[in-house]
Amino acid sequence: MDIFLQLFEPVNLFVMAIGVLLGIIIGALPGLTPTMGVAMAIPFTFSLPAEYGLLLLGGIYSGAVYGGSIPAILFNIPGAPASVATTFEGYPMAQKGEAKKALELSTISSTIGGILGMLLLLYFAPVFSDFSLRFGATENFWIAIFGITIIAVISDGSSIKNMIGGAVGILISMIGIHSMTGMPRFTFGMSSFVGGLNVVSILIGLFAFPQALRLIENLRNHQQGSQIYRYSSSKKTSLLSSFADVFKNLKALSLGSIVGLIVGVAPGAGGNVASIMAYNELKRFSKNKEAFGKGNKEGIIASESANNAEVGGALIPLLTLGIPGSPTSAIFLGGLMIHGIWPGRDLFVQHAEVANLFLYGMLVIQILLLLIGLIAIRYLSKLVNVPNYFMAPVIISFSIIGAYTTQNNTFDIYSMVIIGIFMYLFQKFDFSPAPVALGFILGPIAEEGLLQGIALGESDGSIFHYFTTGIYNWILISLTILTISYSLWQSFKKKDRIKEKRDISFSLDSLLTWQGISWLIFSVLTLVAIYNVRSLAFEMKLFPLITLSLLLLFNMIQIVKLILNSHIKRITDHERTPLNTIYFLTFISVISLLTDILGFYTQVLILMISVPFYVYLQRKRITNLYQIMFISTSFTLIMYLVFSGLIKVPLPSGLALNLLNFFLR
């Protein structure tokens, strides 16, 4: 009771509320992840008492995990890696005019999942810390493989294409220093590749940048008006009905929370894995699978309760054993040590007052998250009414700054833009970004677990025996087999439905189409890669060879489908992009790559002016040139005041300004 009375003192409430609000803002900005938010806030806690510093970091952590759902729902852009699964159902709801409803469901589910995670942290930390210690190399390998098999059923469309996307994501994750040998791999002689591709820039490239390009492309498909491609939020909804919807779907809520807790306790996985696994398991056991991907409320409830329950689960091994359960909790460990607090038994003995205040404070933070989140929804849901000719350059601007500020490296901008362009093109042929993202995240976990398990298995006498013994291994192996079997069953069902609709004819002529030639080239490139990888050391080539061999198999299956004339996608005249749009998208992509030359703020101004001006040239009634100039310069000025004036982020100033400064000196 003394702790609760202390928590409700005005100063403590203010610190927690500021943390939650900052976290929501950080999570809502694409590219600014919970990990970055906590890392950026740690220096500000130096001069604060330990309890204030930890409560501030805890508020930012919880708020940022929830905040990532806001752009995921409104713009199909996960604000944080943990919000990838929220895009699957949240964005379709926004398209149907239910953005406010989706945000309410996200807020309520996040709060409940967070509360359950914190209760588990309070009362079951010793039990689950012992459980987390039982997860060794083989368990981490199998949980990663289980996550990878989810790729086949994680999104709509072809399961084979999903698996190809996942394999490509795994291969991309292998670029850079090999974790076991310390040697560079797949760098092609470029020093920029040695450090590997940054996960934040890759996720922005997969989700945010292609979405901006699609918004620009879709501008041509809409009639004149003051706002184009807007999503109406006029559908009436009440807060009570949203609470009722959450508690009516107890299966989704409980499944999401349980998966989030388990994944959180297992070190290394994180909220991104938790939310995707929860969504997949919900879809697997649902009787109405066709409703998923079209704005299903259960999908939002499961994914959001999972990634917020993961916060409490991840703090269990951190506080009890000093083992971070997620990247963000690893940064949190630094925040503890800065104040001279070491995790483990001493935390609850020598620093019991601070520890208990923080643990119970995390419960209060979930309540504040609910209140602040619900108040903010009223204003956030109106963002869908921003015209797309302004929203697209805003998304690109935040994508650039989000990619750059992670490591203050323009190479991350280049990788983000190039990945984004490829993803934009591949989405036209039914490839989804989610499998690529999941492969990129889980690939290194699977490879490290495999190599460590082989080394330990050799010393144990049998590698196969080492990977297939133990209750946790068998549970994960069974889940993996179940997922693969379900995927195959779904594929056969779909194949039977196709056979009922039309006869499948054998035709080699389909190989001469552009699709057939593309798959043949892709297969040849895969064979060349397999040949070249064979020259690497065993530890460095094993997992790439496995991945490339599976990729070749999936390519051959696609070629067989093409020969059977059952998988040809033909582009209609309506779907074909006009040349002037292609030229303009190329111009936007090139401008996005010129941060070093133009400077960030000049780049933002050009983007903000060029997109609405492009629309103005086509439809002069949408707005006028004075409005374009005023809004563009105002937005650029706000960006400058926030990032250079307030946060003081070191951004590229551009070649012209650097030359001017040189001559002035």
CA triple 151-157-161, angle to 5 deg:
55
Q: Return d(Cα 104, Cα 111) in angstroms, integer.
A: 11
Query: Between 649 and 241, whose confidence is greater?
Result: 241
Q: Return d(Cα 230, Cα 236) in angstroms, integer.
A: 17
| DSSP symbols for 4-29 | HHHHTSHHHHHHHHHHHHHHHHHHHS
What local confidence, expressed as pLDDT, does residue 223 receive?
A: 41
What local confidence, expressed as pLDDT, does residue 229 receive?
A: 38
- Would you place residue 45 in the very low, low, confident or very high pLDDT band (cuts 50, 70, 90)? confident
| DSSP symbols for 458-490 | HHHT-HHHHHS-SHHHHHHHHHHHHHHHHHHHH
What local confidence, expressed as pLDDT, does residue 369 receive?
A: 92
CA distance between the termini of the chain: 63
Q: Return d(Cα 213, Cα 73) in angstroms, integer.
A: 18
Q: What is the pLDDT of residues 322-362, one digit of tens each?
A: 666 566 676 676 677 767 777 766 666 677 777 788 888 88
What local confidence, expressed as pLDDT, does residue 51 receive?
A: 81
What's at 546, amino acid-wise? I
> How does DSSP classify residue 493?
H
What local confidence, expressed as pLDDT, does residue 224 receive?
A: 35
Q: Pick from 292-306, 377-391, 398-412, 487-501 the range whose average pLDDT is largest.
A: 292-306
What local confidence, expressed as pLDDT, does residue 233 receive?
A: 47
* Per-residue pLDDT at 450 exceeds 50: yes
User: Do the beta carbons of residue 27 and residue 68 sit within 8 Å?
Assistant: yes
Provide the CA 644 distance to its chain's centre, in angstroms. 26
Q: How large is the C-alpha radius of gyration of the chain?
A: 25
Provide the CA 355 distance to its chain's centre, in angstroms. 31
Interacting residues of 472 by C-beta distance below 8 A, sequence separation 6+: 134, 135, 139, 142
Q: How far is CA 451 from CA 379, 434, 475, 569, in A?
A: 50, 26, 21, 40
505: left (phi over 0), alpha (psi -120 to 50) or beta: beta
Q: What is the pLDDT of residues 572-599, one digit of tens each?
A: 545 567 788 889 999 999 999 998 888 8
CA triple 60-241-107, angle to 5 deg:
10
- Would you place residue 527 in the very low, low, confident or very high pLDDT band (cuts 50, 70, 90)? very high
What's at 90, amino acid-wise? G
- Would you place residue 228 in the very low, low, confident or very high pLDDT band (cuts 50, 70, 90)? very low
What's at 120, amino acid-wise? L
Indicate the length of the chain as a whole number: 665
User: Do the beta carbons of residue 229 and residue 388 sit within 8 Å?
Assistant: yes
| DSSP symbols for 223-234 | -SSSS-S-----
Q: Return d(Cα 37, Cα 63) in angstroms, integer.
A: 10
Query: Between 49 and 512, whose confidence is greater?
Result: 49
Q: Pick from 170-179, 398-407, 502-511 the range whose average pLDDT is largest.
A: 170-179
What's at 390, amino acid-wise? F
What local confidence, expressed as pLDDT, does residue 332 receive?
A: 73
Give the mean pLDDT of 176-204.
Answer: 83
User: Do the beta carbons of residue 51 and residue 91 sit within 8 Å?
Assistant: no
* Per-residue pLDDT at 241 exceeds 90: no
Query: Between 135 and 637, whose confidence is greater?
Result: 637
Give the mean pLDDT of 401-419.
Answer: 86
User: Which of 226, 312, 223 lies closest to 274, judged by CA?
Assistant: 312
* Per-residue pLDDT at 651 exceeds 70: yes
Task: Supply 399's token pair.
Answer: 């994508």
Q: Return d(Cα 635, Cα 622) in angstroms, integer.
A: 19
Interacting residues of 274 by C-beta distance below 8 A, sequence separation 6+: 82, 259, 260, 263, 264, 306, 307, 309, 310
Residue listed under structure tokens 């795994």: 170
- Would you place residue 473 in the very low, low, confident or very high pLDDT band (cuts 50, 70, 90)? confident
How many percent of the chain have pLDDT more than 70? 80
What local confidence, expressed as pLDDT, does residue 227 receive?
A: 39
Query: Between 489 and 436, whose confidence is greater?
Result: 436
- Report pTM: 0.71
- Would you place residue 231 in the very low, low, confident or very high pLDDT band (cuts 50, 70, 90)? very low
Q: Phi and psi dihedrals of 7, rounded to 5?
A: -65, -35
What local confidence, expressed as pLDDT, does residue 204 receive?
A: 80
Q: Pick from 6-10, 264-268, 526-530, 651-655 the range whose average pLDDT is largest.
A: 526-530
User: Which of 298, 299, 331, 304 lies closest to 315, judged by CA?
Assistant: 331
What local confidence, expressed as pLDDT, does residue 191 receive?
A: 83
Q: Tell me whether strands 184-185 and 176-177 are parallel, antiparallel or unpaired.
A: antiparallel
Give the mean pLDDT of 159-188.
Answer: 86
Q: Return d(Cα 133, Cα 347) in angstroms, integer.
A: 19
3-state secondary structure of 185: strand
Spell out a b/e string for 119-128, using b for 16 or more CB atoms within 10 Å of the CB, else e: bbbeeebeeb
* Per-residue pLDDT at 147 exceeds 90: no
User: Do the beta carbons of residue 306 and residue 256 sit within 8 Å?
Assistant: yes
Which stretch of 58-67, 123-132, 567-576 has the lowest confidence by average pLDDT?
A: 567-576
- Would you place residue 528 in the very low, low, confident or very high pLDDT band (cuts 50, 70, 90)? very high
Question: What is the chain's mean pLDDT, rounded?
Answer: 79
Query: Between 630 and 337, whose confidence is greater?
Result: 630
Provide the CA 443 distance to its chain's centre, in angstroms. 15
What local confidence, expressed as pLDDT, does residue 489 receive?
A: 72
Q: What is the pLDDT of residues 531-578, one digit of tens each?
A: 988 888 888 888 899 999 989 998 888 888 877 765 455 555 455 677
User: Do the beta carbons of residue 289 and residue 279 sit within 8 Å?
Assistant: no
Cβ burial, residue 223 (10 Å; 0-12/13-18/19+): exposed
Q: Return d(Cα 264, Cα 310) in angstroms, integer.
A: 4
Which stretch of 33-47, 174-188, 485-499 has the lowest confidence by average pLDDT?
A: 485-499
* Per-residue pLDDT at 222 exceeds 90: no
What local confidence, expressed as pLDDT, does residue 401 receive?
A: 84
What local confidence, expressed as pLDDT, does residue 325 receive?
A: 57
User: Which of 537, 457, 547, 443 lies closest to 137, judged by CA?
Assistant: 457
